Amino acid sequence: MNAPLAERMRPHHIDQYIGQEHLVGENAVLRKAIASNNFPSFILWGPPGVGKTTLATIIAETLERPFYSLSAINSGVKDIRETIDKAKRQQFFDCPNPILFIDEIHRFSKSQQDSLLAAVEKGIITLIGATTENPSFEVISPLLSRCQVYVLKHHSKEELIKIAEQAIAKDRYIKERGVKIKEWENILRYSGGDARKLLNVLELVINALPDDKHEIDNDLVSSIIQQNMSTYDKTGEQHYDIISAFIKSIRGSDPNAAVYYLARMIEGGEDIKFIGRRMIISASEDIGLANPNALLLANSAFEAIQNIGMPEGRIILSQAAIYLANSPKSNSAYLAIKAAQNEVKQSGDLSIPLALRNAPTKLMKSLDYGKGYKYAHDFEHNFVIQDYLPQEIKDRKFYDPGNNPSESKTRQNLKTLWKEKYGY
């Protein structure tokens, strides 16, 4: 019983695979590719625990192809070249290409990704990459252009329950216990939509059950997880919990907590570009117009860490995190675009005022396109009152300036220009 439950329950056939029906369901693209034994190199993009590695191994086993697996965390260019050399030696007439599976391919540097190009291009290997990050940003263009990208979705509640029930019914160590799940909420909550984490939680709870207890409820799950938190976290799956705590500490203006969670991520080997991207988002979503320089600094920090790398990159991240945490906060820009999107969804494509329409042809001019438009620079202070929104929503306000020094000036300026219209 040394192998964890998630490994013991790993499916070995496509019909045992739960979820991702858009890829493996009847007549879906990957099922067809497996049936035809003809598919290009591809990249599986999706959150943790949705079956990327499992799908790659099922394909290799079903097609009986040689299968090599590398992790971008601990593999270098030398490992890649050695694996490609092995694949070359296994090439025989009419023999299908070996499959090279690379987990967390987004962590490979440009030179590491470059070393894969020739082998993929010449058909020495069929590459299957797995990533939790957008391949458009993390995979070099020449390699990405030679691969299909398939997006995997979070497991639904029903799929997670099905995976857990299957483990309870089929795993020979667990089914002997006669365990019954009375309440699912906390098991699902601790799993965070991650099937691997779900099975880890389930195994931890069942192993901690007294011999005379067979029902699992929410209180029992919470109690056991809290008592065994170090065991629960030993696989380093706190990725999303820590980044969440980091961003919430910045949002809450606590620089000490922000630096602490930053240190947790750095010591845990988190991708510094992932941290940098999240800080750019926070600079706009949480700080926004209260301090527009925050976005500039966060973006500069992101560019700097790509040029500098580690270990010095940690100092740049620390400076940026502290600056963001200490900045005044406003989510007015976030709320404005959210409100505007909701309006568009509700009201559809409203007619644009004729005065604002483009009139490149005589016909359009004859239809009064552009007629009555007032050119702001022709007026005092480069401003004139006119309606810019569609008539049906001409008085609708999406942007409400935040309560901070920077946006207080904006609020006053809008009042001065627009009088009652933007009186807020």
User: What pLDDT does 74 receive?
Assistant: 74
* Total Cβ atoms within 10 A of residue 212: 5
Of 64-68, 210-214, 275-279, minimum mean pLDDT range: 210-214
Answer whether 0.75 is exceeded by the pTM: no
User: Is 13 in contact with 62 (CB distance < 8 Å)?
Assistant: yes
Of 208-222, 284-298, 313-327, minimum mean pLDDT range: 208-222
Tokens read off for 262? 């930053």
Contact partners, residue 374, CB within 8 Å, separation at least 6: 355, 384, 386
What is the Cα–Cα distance from 57 to 12, expressed in whole angstroms?
Answer: 7
For residue 265, what pLDDT band results from cuts at 50, 70 and 90? confident
pLDDT at 101 over 90: yes
For residue 54, what pLDDT band results from cuts at 50, 70 and 90? very high
For residue 234, what pLDDT band results from cuts at 50, 70 and 90? very low
Of 111-115, 305-309, 365-369, minimum mean pLDDT range: 365-369
What does the DSSP assignment read for 309-365? Answer: -TTTHHHHHHHHHHHHHHS----HHHHHHHHHHHHHHHH-SPPPPGGGS---SHHHH
Bridge partners of 216, per DSSP, are 181
pLDDT at 231 over 70: no
pLDDT at 230 over 70: no
Stretch 237-250: mean pLDDT, rounded? Answer: 81
User: Is 242 in contact with 250 (CB distance < 8 Å)?
Assistant: no
Length of the chain measured in residues: 424
**120-162 confidence digits (pLDDT tens):** 988 889 999 999 888 888 888 899 999 999 999 989 999 999 9
User: What pLDDT does 40 receive?
Assistant: 85
What is the Cα–Cα distance from 333 to 346, expressed in whole angstroms?
Answer: 20
Long-range contacts (CB closer than 8 Å, 24 or more residues apart) made by 157-164: 157/184, 157/188, 159/18, 159/19, 159/195, 160/188, 160/191, 160/193, 160/195, 160/198, 161/188, 162/18, 163/9, 163/18, 163/195, 163/198, 163/199, 164/198, 164/199, 164/202
Question: Which domains, and CATH codes, for the chain?
Answer: 19-151 (3.40.50.300), 157-232 (1.10.8), 239-326 (1.20.272.10), 351-418 (1.10.3710)
Of 86-95, 196-205, 282-291, 319-328, minimum mean pLDDT range: 86-95
**């005379």: which residue's tokens?**
212
What is the Cα–Cα distance from 406 to 374, expressed in whole angstroms?
Answer: 29
User: Is 358 in contact with 421 (CB distance < 8 Å)?
Assistant: no
Instruction: Return the percentage of the chain with pLDDT > 70, whole number.
Output: 93
362 phi and psi, to 5 degrees? -65, -40
pLDDT at 398 over 80: yes
Stretch 380-406: mean pLDDT, rounded? Answer: 86
Average pLDDT, the chain: 85
Contact partners, residue 358, CB within 8 Å, separation at least 6: 364, 369, 370
What does the DSSP assignment read for 206-222? Answer: HHHS-TT--EE-HHHHH
Higher confidence at residue 357 or residue 9? 9
**28-40 confidence digits (pLDDT tens):** 999 988 888 878 8
Tokens read off for 89? 């030696």
Stretch 91-116: mean pLDDT, rounded? Answer: 82
What is the Cα–Cα distance from 266 to 308, expressed in whole angstroms?
Answer: 15
What is the Cα–Cα distance from 359 to 364, expressed in whole angstroms?
Answer: 5
Angle at 116 between CA 112 and CA 121, to 5 degrees: 155
For residue 92, what pLDDT band results from cuts at 50, 70 and 90? low
User: What pLDDT does 94 receive?
Assistant: 63
User: What pLDDT does 228 receive?
Assistant: 66
